[in-house]
Amino acid sequence: MAATHPNKGGISSVQVPDHTRDDEWSGLLVRVGRDRDRRAFERLFSHFAPLIRGFQFSRGGQSSAPEAADELVQEVMFRVWTKAPTFRPDKAAASTWVFTIMRNCRIDALRKSNRQPATDESLNVEDIWDDSQDEQPLVYLQQARNQHAIAAGLQGLPPEQSHVIEKAYVEGKSHSEISEELGLPLGTVKSRVRLALKKLQSSISR
């Protein structure tokens, strides 16, 4: 839960429940996309930049230098500006949409640092991690509420399960990397992930 106040700067100081806040970020994203509204964008920046930095910093060990985090913020928010016209508030919560952009930026950065041969650079990250939103509106109308339920569900997971979930999402580690790092059999990592997902799924279908 966003128990601590994520608002720096320009955000309204009134504390409102999370799902309403999600609507607020969605509304700002729509304004950025439709009107190229810079004030709205600045408020999004003040909200998401510290979260992106926080996400990056909690990655344990690797590349958590402030410069790397700053670079990530610049790249993610640049793409947020560019892609805002494609954001559809009825299809995804604002934070999920920003997450997918951040994930893609990190994949790009990782590829650059691994120096994939330039001649072979055929597909780009968005061909594979396509974040354009599909055309199945009705099913996902409750997206923001789902988001809220998932956040609550994550809080309720047993520590050994939330640990592997965070390692995958925050640190970007594959199951086999997690298994090596924690000294657990791969099967154990897999079953923890599956159990966690089952719980999260039941938390939204309730």
Partner 1 sequence: MIHHHPDNNLLLEYASGSLNWAHSLVVAAHIQLCPKCAAQLKLLNSVGGSLLATATPSASLESSEPDAFGKLMQRIDRQPDKDEEQCAGSGSSALPLRDPIFASVPPVVRKLLAENPVLQWRRLSRGLKEARLKTGQNEREVSFHRIAPGSKVAEHDHRGREITMVLYGSFSDADGVYTPGDFLVREPGEVHRPTATQDQECLCLSVVEAPVALTGIWGKIINPFLSIKPQ
- Give me 13's structure tokens: 């100081």
Tell me the C-alpha to C-alpha distance, in Å, between residue 67 and each of 45, 70, 73, 108.
17, 5, 10, 17
3-state DSSP assignment of residue 201? helix
Decide: is 201 part of the binding site for partner 1 (CB under 8 A): yes
Query: Least Å distance between CB 35 and partner 1?
Result: 13
Are 22 and 148 a contacting pair, CB within 8 Å? Answer: yes
The neighbour count for residue 35, using CB atoms within 10 Å, is 11
Q: What x-and-dash track marks residues 18-47 binding partner 1 by CB under 8 A?
A: x---x---------------x---x--xx-
Q: What x-and-dash track marks residues 142-181 binding partner 1 by CB under 8 A?
A: -x--xx--xx--x----------xx-xxx-xxxx-x----
Decide: is 11 part of the binding site for partner 1 (CB under 8 A): no
Decide: is 2 part of the binding site for partner 1 (CB under 8 A): yes
DSSP state of 93: -
Query: Least Å distance between CB 96 and partner 1?
Result: 3
Rounded Cα distance between 17 and 28, Å, is: 17
Q: What x-and-dash track marks residues 100-139 binding partner 1 by CB under 8 A?
A: x-xxx-xx---x----xx--xxxxx--xxxx---x-x--x
